[in-house]
Structure 1
Amino acid sequence: MTTATTRPSDRRISPVFLGILAVTAVTGWATWTGSAGRPGPAVFLFVTAAWIVSLCLHEYAHARTALHGGDISVGAKGYLTLNPLKYTHAVLSILLPVLFLIAGGIGLPGGAVFIERGRIRGRWRHSLVSAAGPLTNVLFAAVCSAPFWLHALDGVPRDFRYALAFLALLQVTAAILNFLPVPGLDGYGVLEPWLSYQVKRQVEPFAQFGLLFVFALLWVPSINQAFFDAIYAILRGLGVDDIDRYCGQNLYRFWTSGDPYCSFSR
């Protein structure tokens, strides 16, 4: 098997990732029990840590799929350790999405691990490598929203429910943005192996501006409205209502004035 050519140390989970996972667990417990006193800081740390975990898993999915597709170089690069510091673009993959999360509460797609595409044979494998990352966000969204669509919210504390709703919002946003067929995003990577050489050559110079183009479009009020209407509709389809989603974002941004309605609803 392909994985046999990687060293055991190349696949050992990084202490950095385990530390982030521990922060997620501890702050999740604090949010669940209310032991932190003020719920805002605990929710902030819980959601931020869980978001970083999902970013690590997103990049790991790209790397792991590439490994099985034939690119054994991902092991030596440290991509299989889930260590965010090993990514090719650590700032784009981790820091920038976290900053966007804190500033505006949006699930920004991360950067990308460096895949040696020449080692991978077959169009389907190339497409799957690109799709693996956002599919991880889809799975994460399903897990976060599971108590809602399974109607298993009895006994779930209000603040924890709000945090899960906001996490689901972030994951759905990241999945939708990543799957857009725009150069530089994973959605285009899924389609690229099936395009002609001439089309790929024409599109290649614009790849570095793809994400900027998407965010420029989101500044257009009508497009922004339509985009988030679609996100909220998906969340409602997953059982996450507007109140839970809104109060989750409000509680996460605890340093703002807040909305007293969320403190007493249901």
Structure 2
Amino acid sequence: MIFLCLVALFAATGVMLWVGFGSVGLNVFLFVLAGWLVSLCLHEYAHALVAFKGGDRSVAHKGYLTLNPLLYSHPLLSIALPLLIIIIGGIGLPGGAVQVERHALRSKLWDSLVSLCGPLVNVAFAIVLIVPVVVTGGTIGSAGFWAGAALLGFLQLTVAVLNLLPVPGLDGGNLIFPWLSPQGQRGFANVAPYGLLIVMAVLFVPQINRIFFTVVYAIADVVGLSPQLYAQGYDLFRFWS
């Protein structure tokens, strides 16, 4: 029910932006926030679904296959913190966690696929958002709608790139974890609880931040996403400023 409410809010604010009803800034804010939470649900659901297919039946008993965000999200870590980072830095953060019993998975390959499928959902979400923006050039509908879609697509790119970094605790780190030596796995496991915090701290280093966004901007350029458009979306998203 909560997931369907998020989808309804995402769709409703999208329609309001399309027809130009209400405050453009507030609608972009709600559109991006609802879309972000929908992508979070689908990201974590993908982890759970592949884990189930790979042999971990516990994800079904824990309710992860129900798309209920309350089961694998945290009000602070999944909503408040990513929203704050988007506001001050324009970067998407991974915000949920499905607890997978990896020992129950059939093979190392399945273990890696469980980790890979989440970022792939973000990539797919980005494609769904960006392709219409590029194809239409934002010439139909309203500028506010396309700016919001461009921003949300850009955020999906940032979280996909970030999450695929081979850092303990992120999906990229979990992707290579099964293939490490036992000693390497122990080292990864010790760092994993702090992996995201370490990445966030490192991204505040100007040189590292510049490199990260250079990569994301390059990907956005390759797919044809206008930097002016998602910058406009970011300005509208911060409607209070």
Q: TM-score range by the shorter chain?
A: over 0.9
Alignment counterpart, residue 44 of structure 1, candidates 7, 29, 33? 29
Q: Match of 1:213? A: 198
Instruction: Write out aligned runs for 1:26-41 (5 A).
Output: 26-36=12-22, 38-41=23-26
Q: Match of 2:63? A: 78
Q: Match of 1:23? A: 9
In structure 2, relative to structure 1, the CA distance for the partners of 1:44 and 1:165 (3 Å cut) is: same
* 3-state SS of 1:150 partner: helix
Work out the CA distance in 2 between the residues paired with 1:98 and 1:82.
Answer: 20
Q: Match of 1:64? A: 49
Instruction: State which drifts further: 243-252 or 222-231.
Output: 222-231
Work out the CA distance in 2 between the residues paired with 1:111 and 1:171.
Answer: 15
Instruction: Write out aligned runs for 1:100-249 (5 A).
Output: 100-151=85-136, 153-249=138-234
Q: Match of 1:262? A: none
Give 1:94 deviation, angstroms: 4.0
In structure 2, relative to structure 1, the CA distance for the partners of 1:106 and 1:25 (3 Å cut) is: same
8 Å CA contact retained: 1:128, 1:190: yes
Over alpha carbons, which structure has the higher Rg?
1
Work out the CA distance in 2 between the residues paired with 1:240 and 1:64.
Answer: 31
Give 1:93 deviation, angstroms: 3.5
In structure 2, relative to structure 1, the CA distance for the partners of 1:143 and 1:210 (3 Å cut) is: same
Work out the CA distance in 1 between the residues paired with 2:65 and 2:75.
Answer: 15
After TM superposition, the score normalised by the length of structure 1 is: 0.86
- RMSD over aligned CA atoms reads 1.5
Work out the CA distance in 1 between the residues paired with 2:101 and 2:213.
Answer: 35
8 Å CA contact retained: 1:169, 1:235: yes
Give 1:118 deviation, angstroms: 1.5
* 3-state SS of 2:92 partner: coil
* 3-state SS of 2:166 partner: coil
Work out the CA distance in 2 between the residues paired with 1:136 and 1:97.
Answer: 18
Instruction: State which drifts further: 101-110 or 186-195.
Output: 101-110
Instruction: State which drifts further: 211-220 or 58-67.
Output: 211-220
Structure 1: unaligned runs, 5 residues or longer: 1-14, 257-266
8 Å CA contact retained: 1:148, 1:238: no
After TM superposition, the score normalised by the length of structure 2 is: 0.95
8 Å CA contact retained: 1:88, 1:114: no
Give per-residue Cα distances to partners, 1:187-206, cap 9 Å, x unaligned: 01110111111111122211
Work out the CA distance in 2 between the residues paired with 1:159 and 1:150.
Answer: 17
Give per-residue Cα distances to partners, 1:150-172, cap 9 Å, x unaligned: 35643132111100110011100
Structure 2: unaligned runs, 5 residues or longer: none
